[in-house]
Amino acid sequence: MEYIIISIGFALVLLGLYGIMYMRNLMRIIIAFTLFNTGINIVMVSIGYIRNASAPILDAIPAAGTTPNIVDPVPQALVLTAIVIGLGVTALMLTYVVKLHQDKKSLDINNFKDLKW
């Protein structure tokens, strides 16, 4: 199960990279970018997965020395942060796209080559 999930994550990462490199429309690039991010998030969550364990929410304080059978809470916490960051970056990218579109009335990346060399 976890192998399948992580594979899906990796596949999304590669797909996202391919999209970022291949797409010419800025919006599509951003979509590819979110795919890439989502893939990474999936990989992160599956890293913290423990077989046959439950969610990291406890019913009671565990007795000293015993370990409750839960999945690793750390990757989950990290993923939460990563998602928010991804959101921030995506929002910013969209802002840029808005500005770029206002500037040239186009979303084709080939129109944005003013800076070079």
Partner 1 sequence: MVKKFLILLLVAGMGLIIFDLYQAYDSKENLSTLGEYYAQNGAEEVGAANLVTAVVVTYRGLDTLGEVSILFLTAAILSFALSFRKEDEIEEKELRPTSEILSIASQVLTPIIMLVGIYIFINGHLTPGGGFQGGAVIASAILLMLMAKPKLEISHKIIGFVESISGLSFIIIGALGIVLAGGFLDNRIMSLGTFGTLLSAGAIPLIYIFVGLKVGAELSNIVGSMSHNQNEK
Partner 2 sequence: MVGPIYIIAIALGLAFAMGLFGKALKGITGALLMLGLAAMTFISGQWLWAFLTDSVTTTQIFTAGFKPPYSINLQMGMEEAILTFIINVAGLLGATYMYQTFSKKGEQLKMIFLVFIMSMNVTVMTRDMFNLFVFLEIESIALAGLVLMSNTGKAFQAGMKYLIATGIISGLLLLGIIFAYSFTGTLNIDDMIGAHLGTIKASSVAVFLILVAFILELKPFPANGWGLDVYTAAHPGIGALVSATVASAGVYVLYKVMPIAGQEWYYYVSLIGALTFVGSNLMGTRQNTPNRLLGYSSIGQVGLLMIILGLQDYLGDKTAFIAFGILISHYAAKAGLFWISGILKANDIKDWAALRKNPFLLFLFGTFLFALIGFPPFPSFFAKWELIMTLSTQGQLVWIAVILVGSFIEGIYLFRWLGYALKLDHSELPSLNITWNKMIPIWVMGMSLYVLGVYVTPMVEFGRYINYIPLLFILVMFALDFLPVYIKNTLSIGGVVWYMIDLWPRIEDDLMRQIFAVIFLGGAVITLAAGYSKKGTRKGFYPMALLMFAGLVGIIEASSMIDFFFSWELMTAGSYFLIIRGKRSMPHAYSYILFSIAGAYAILMGFGLAYGSNLDAGLTALGNISFLPTLAYSLLAVGFMTKTASLGLHIWLPGAHGEAESDVSPMVSAILLKAGVFGLMLLFLFIGTDNPNATKLLYVLGWVGALTTLVGNMSAAFQEDAKRLLAYSSIAQLGYVLFGLAIMTHMGWMASFTYTINHFMFKSILFLVIGGIVVKLGTHNMFEMGGMIKKMPFSFIAVLISIIVIGGIPPLSGFAGKWLFYNAIIEKGWYFQGAIIFFAGIIAFLYLYKLIHSVFLGQLKDNHRNMTEISWWILGPVYVLIIGIMIFSAFPQYVLQPIGEMLNPYFNTEIVSWEGTKAFTKLGYWDGTTIMIVVGTAFVLLLGWLISLSRKAQKVKQFNIVYAAERPFRPETTHVSYNIYAGYKKALGFLVAPGITNFWNTVSDMVLDIAGWLRRIYSGSIQNYTLHVIVFIVVFYLITIGGL
> Which tokens belong to 34?
């979110």
CA distance 73 to 78: 9
Contact with partner 2 (CB under 8 A) among 25, 50, 85, 106? 85
Looking at the Cβ atoms of 27 and 87, the one nearer to partner 1 is: 87
Backbone angles phi, psi at 70, to 5 degrees: -125, 165
* Contact between 94 and 11 (Cβ < 8 Å): no
String marking each residue 45-84 x if it binds partner 1 according to CB under 8 A: --xxxxx---xxxxxxxx-xxxxx-x-xxx-xxx-xx-xx
Backbone angles phi, psi at 56, to 5 degrees: -80, 55
* Contact between 33 and 16 (Cβ < 8 Å): yes
Q: Which residues partner with 54 through β-bridges?
A: 70
For 28-43, give one letter per residue: b (16+ CB within 10 A) or e: ebbbbbbbbbbbbbbb
Looking at the Cβ atoms of 56 and 111, the one nearer to partner 1 is: 56
Q: Which residues bind partner 1 (CB under 8 A)?
A: 2-3, 6-7, 10, 13-14, 17-18, 21-22, 47-51, 55-62, 64-68, 70, 72-74, 76-78, 80-81, 83-85, 87-88, 91-92, 94-95, 98-99, 102
Q: Which residues bind partner 2 (CB under 8 A)?
A: 13, 17, 20-22, 24, 26, 29, 33, 36-37, 40, 43-44, 47, 74-75, 78, 81-82, 85, 88-89, 92-93, 95-97, 99-100, 103-104, 109-110, 112-117
